Amino acid sequence: MGQACGAPAANKRNKLDAKKVSNIHEANADIKIHTVVTGELDDDHATAMTIPLGEVTDEQLMAEVARRHLDIHDKITDKMVKETYDFIQELGQGASGAVWLVKHRKTGQSFACKIVKKDGDMNDAQSMSTEIEIMKRIRHRNIVSMYELYETPACLWIILELVDGGDLQTYIANHHDHSEATAATHLRQMLKALHYLHGVGVVHRDIKLANILLKKPKSGIPECKLADFGLSALVRLGEEGYDPDESGKRKEFKGLNDMWGTKEYFAPEVIKCEYGPQADMWSLGCVVYEMLVGKTAFPYRDSEDELFNRIMTGSFGTHRPGWIALSDEAKSIVNAMLHVDPRKRISATEAMSHPWILHNADREERNEKRNVKLEDAQRHHRATIQLRAKERKK
């Protein structure tokens, strides 16, 4: 959630969000956009009422619809969505709206449909515009993809990739054997996502276990996909030195100034209201600590001031049994991600080359490949036996 830094958050919503971002890559051509754009309507309702319906101009007709406050856009678009997709069941209620399991009527392919009612509270036009602009531009294996968008002035229907394995928070709670190798594999996937996002000027601002979804695999561990860009920011590449190619130079950027996100995952510079993409790395460091130790790195205890003081000094639990049991390499990468100075904090690009990642994640991926090859061999063996059985019957 958001919190003001010296002024109401609504008045200080990141000024960069409002700018037209034209220097990151174009919107993906494979995303279908169905948008109703409203313009100035003809105010002469009396004239429109005296003209036979067949002779009324489109502008006059729309003016009369507006005068009567008829919600025609939403009704037509809602009908269009439901003619295209079967709504199977509600998957859950998020902060910004309901998410449904839907199936495309023609292809039979399943998706998630997020329905967002625009309002003046959390789903304000500006924040929703930023989220949609981000989703239209990004496409990465470890990020939940948007495939189609239906939009009216009052509502959004966002057709998203269906990720069916729950979130990382639930996974860790149900898998007490979450090893360093598994954690390293999941971290590498999230680092790849952040490396990509930061390179195109997107700062997520709400990285936590609940926003990391899992895709069920055929074998091995599930694959992580980053979700929920409702609090994210778009930064113009090159603005205030924001470098799209060198993560080391991006560490100097501190052009964002709103306390958006989840308090327990706030970076020190977020509390200072001067931050950039490195804030995501701090939040991800909190996630890694939780994955490995089973406890929150910076839990809310007595007060917000007390929490923020521990964050500002980087005082997380190093006396817990789970932390003491970790390898030195695991402790090293967590410490590097939870460095209070964003300029000295490891970046996503740098972290992908950390020895703990290279050693553990590579081993886990080799095991997965061996399992896939074994399953393929077993399937081939079963198919051969079935074929020989059929030949003997003949």
- What pLDDT, in 10s, does the model give residues 123-162? 566 667 788 889 988 999 999 999 999 888 778 899 999 9
* Same domain, residue pair 174 and 151: no
Phi, psi of 204 (to 5 degrees): -70, -50
Q: Provide the CATH number for the domain around residue 80.
A: 3.30.200.20
CB 205 within 8 A of CB 232: yes
pLDDT at 169 over 70: yes
* Same domain, residue pair 308 and 193: yes
Decide if 368 is inside a domain: no
Helix (H) or strand (E) segment spanning residue 54: none
Least confident interval from 33-37, 139-143, 299-303: 33-37
360 burial (CB, 10 Å; 0-12 / 13-18 / 19+) is buried
Q: How far apart are CA 302 and CA 10, in angstroms?
A: 28
Would you state the structure tokens that stand for residue 97, as one six-digit string?
Answer: 């709206």
Last residue within a domain, chosen from 102, 126, 159: 159
Q: How far apart are CA 108 and CA 11, in angstroms?
A: 45
Last residue within a domain, chosen from 103, 125, 159: 159
Amino acid 387: pLDDT: 67
pLDDT at 195 over 70: yes
Decide if 108 is inside a domain: yes
pLDDT at 183 over 70: yes
CB 128 within 8 A of CB 118: yes
* Same domain, residue pair 282 and 300: yes
- 158 pairs with which residues across the strands? 114, 149
Residue 276 is part of which domain span? 168-363
Decide if 245 is inside a domain: yes
Q: How far apart are CA 10 and CA 6, in angstroms?
A: 12
| CA 297 to chain CA mean position, Å | 22
Would you state the structure tokens that stand for residue 255, as one six-digit string?
Answer: 């052009």
136 burial (CB, 10 Å; 0-12 / 13-18 / 19+) is middle
pLDDT band at 23 (very low <50, low <70, confident <90, very high): very low
pLDDT at 299 over 80: yes
Read off the amino acid at residue 263. K
pLDDT at 333 over 80: yes
- Ranked by mean pLDDT, the top range of 73-82, 174-183, 209-218, 321-330 is 321-330
Amino acid 69: pLDDT: 56
pLDDT at 272 over 70: yes
Decide if 1 is inside a domain: no
Would you state the structure tokens that stand for residue 382, as one six-digit string?
Answer: 């079963």
Decide if 330 is inside a domain: yes
Last residue within a domain, chosen from 159, 177, 200: 159
The per-residue pLDDT for range 65-121, each reduced to its tens digit, is: 566 555 566 778 888 899 999 999 998 876 667 899 999 999 999 999 999 887 755
Decide if 381 is inside a domain: no
Q: How far apart are CA 113 and CA 161, in angstroms?
A: 9
* Same domain, residue pair 47 and 97: yes
Phi, psi of 67 (to 5 degrees): -60, -35
Q: Provide the CATH number for the domain around residue 347.
A: 1.10.510.10
Helix (H) or strand (E) segment spanning residue 323: helix 321-324
Least confident interval from 6-20, 206-220, 252-266, 277-291: 6-20
Q: How far apart are CA 210 and CA 261, in angstroms?
A: 12
Give CA separation, 20 vs 128, 130, 133, 158, 228, in Å: 14, 10, 10, 21, 21
The total number of structural domains that make up the chain: 2
pLDDT at 378 over 80: no
Decide if 179 is inside a domain: yes
3-state SS track over 179-226: CHHHHHHHHHHHHHHHHHHHHCCEECCCCCHHHEEEECCCCCCCEEEE
* Same domain, residue pair 143 and 210: no
Q: Please, what is the Cα angle at 293 between 287 and 296, to 5 degrees?
A: 50
* Same domain, residue pair 203 and 59: no
Amino acid 227: pLDDT: 93
Residue % of the chain over a pLDDT of 90: 54
Residue scoring higher pLDDT (286 or 154) = 286
Q: How far apart are CA 301 and CA 307, in angstroms?
A: 7
* Same domain, residue pair 131 and 210: no
Q: How far apart are CA 5 and CA 271, in angstroms?
A: 8
* Same domain, residue pair 241 and 322: yes
Amino acid 40: pLDDT: 44
pLDDT at 285 over 60: yes
DSSP annotation of 265 reads G
How many other CB atoms are there within 10 angstroms of residue 25's CB atom? Answer: 11
Q: What is the mean pLDDT of residues 199-212?
A: 95
Backbone angle region of 201, left / alpha / beta, with phi > 0 → left and psi within -120 to 50 → alpha: left
Amino acid 260: pLDDT: 87
Would you state the structure tokens that stand for residue 26, as one six-digit string?
Answer: 């174009």
Pairing verdict, β 32-35 and 146-151: parallel
Would you state the structure tokens that stand for residue 251, as one six-digit string?
Answer: 């560490």
Would you state the structure tokens that stand for residue 31, as one six-digit string?
Answer: 């995303």
Which of 240, 210, 251, 216 has its CA nearest to residue 228? 210
* Same domain, residue pair 220 and 135: no
* Same domain, residue pair 66 and 199: no
* Same domain, residue pair 111 and 234: no
Decide if 153 is inside a domain: yes
Catalytically annotated residues: 206
* Same domain, residue pair 204 and 336: yes
Residue % of the chain over a pLDDT of 70: 72
